[in-house]
């Protein structure tokens, strides 16, 4: 069974630009969550989608948005990039949104904002 | 609100010895799940082990076991017979009640010495 895939793996952007990251969950998984990892703030939850609906959102500005498609693939978008958006963005999928379901992570997209 | 505390920023262990990574948690929910992840320098988060709040037995997965002490709110990870490939950052995480996201600790950097 293929794992969670994320594209692209690396991105370099400049301030003010926008970026779209993509995540394909494990086949059969309907829940996709996004996390931002930085050395200073650690791992922070961005948002979670289940069956194309955003179920939960972390404490991030409106520049961060996302969506999920009918095949459970998800994208996140960051507009008007700031230097502080430089981070590893991790996507995780789980079969359902229940507490006991493990979340399996992809390799991440490393975004650098210059 | 949920909180995970990992008090060991870095740990060293000799190859083939056992090591315990500490994790304490705080939640007011009765139903929760505790997870451990391994993050090598490549960045991918690898799921290791899961313990549910209602599980009476400690979880085990190969060389990994979780020492779950509910009254103390601790969920320590024990790695037996350490290998050089175990060198990585280890994160304890929790998913509690109706919260859909994982709350992560700050991590422990484990180094296995030959």
Q: Does B45 touch chain A (CB under 8 A)?
A: yes
Nearest residue on chain B to A89, judged by CA atoms?
B43
CA distance B73 to B105: 14
For residue B27, what pLDDT is reported?
Answer: 93
pLDDT of residue B99: 74
How far is B53 from A90, CA to CA, in rounded Å? 26
User: Which helix H or strand E contains B63, and what residues bound it?
Assistant: none
The shortest CB-CB distance from A43 to any of B32, B100, B104 is to B104
* Tens-place pLDDT, residues B97-111: 777 789 999 999 999
CA–CA separation, A8 and A88 (whole Å): 12
| Interval B15-72: pLDDT, tens | 999 999 999 999 999 989 999 999 999 888 999 999 999 988 999 999 999 999 999 9
pLDDT at A31 over 80: yes
Q: Which candidate in A66, A105, A112 is best for mutational testing of the B interface (most B CBs within 10 A)?
A: A105
Does A103 contact B35 at a Cβ distance shorter than 8 Å? yes
Q: How does DSSP classify residue A103?
A: P
Average pLDDT, chain A: 93
pLDDT bracket for residue A78 (50, 70, 90)? very high
Q: Strand B74-79 to strand B19-21: parallel, antiparallel, or no bridges (unpaired)?
A: antiparallel
| Whole-number Å distance between alpha carbons of B114 and B107 | 23
Q: Find how far residue B44's CA is from the centre of its chain.
A: 16
CB atoms within 10 A of CB A14: 10
Contacts of B65 (CB under 8 A, 6+ apart): B49, B58, B59, B77, B78, B80
pLDDT value at position A101? 76
Inform me whether the pLDDT recorded for B7 exceeds 90.
Answer: yes
pLDDT higher than 70, residue A41: yes
CA distance B111 to B49: 20
User: Is residue A1's pLDDT more than 70?
Assistant: no
For the CA atoms of B92, B95, B101, B104, what is the dihedral angle to 10 degrees?
-20
């Amino acid at each position: 069974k293929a794992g969670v895939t994320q594209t692209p793996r690396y991105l370099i952007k400049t301030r003010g630009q926008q970026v779209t990251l993509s995540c394909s969950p494990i086949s059969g998984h309907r829940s996709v969550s996004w996390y931002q990892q930085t050395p200073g703030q650690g791992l922070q939850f961005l948002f979670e989608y289940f069956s194309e609906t955003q179920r939960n959102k972390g404490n991030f500005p409106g520049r961060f948005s996302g969506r999920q498609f009918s095949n459970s693939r998800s994208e996140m978008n960051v507009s008007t990039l700031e230097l502080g958006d430089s981070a590893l963005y991790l996507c995780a999928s789980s079969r359902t949104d229940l507490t006991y379901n493990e979340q399996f992570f992809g390799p991440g997209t490393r975004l650098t904002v210059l | 609100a949920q909180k995970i505390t990992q008090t060991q920023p870095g740990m060293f262990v000799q190859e083939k010895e056992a090591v315990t990574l500490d994790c304490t948690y705080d939640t007011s929910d009765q139903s929760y799940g505790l997870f451990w992840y391994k993050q090598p320098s490549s960045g991918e988060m690898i799921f290791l082990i899961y313990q549910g709040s209602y599980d009476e037995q400690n979880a085990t997965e190969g060389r990994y076991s979780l020492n779950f002490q509910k009254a103390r709110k601790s969920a320590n990870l024990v790695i037996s017979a350490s290998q050089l490939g175990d060198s990585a950052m280890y994160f304890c995480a929790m998913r509690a009640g109706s919260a859909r996201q994982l709350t992560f600790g700050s991590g422990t950097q484990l180094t296995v010495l030959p």
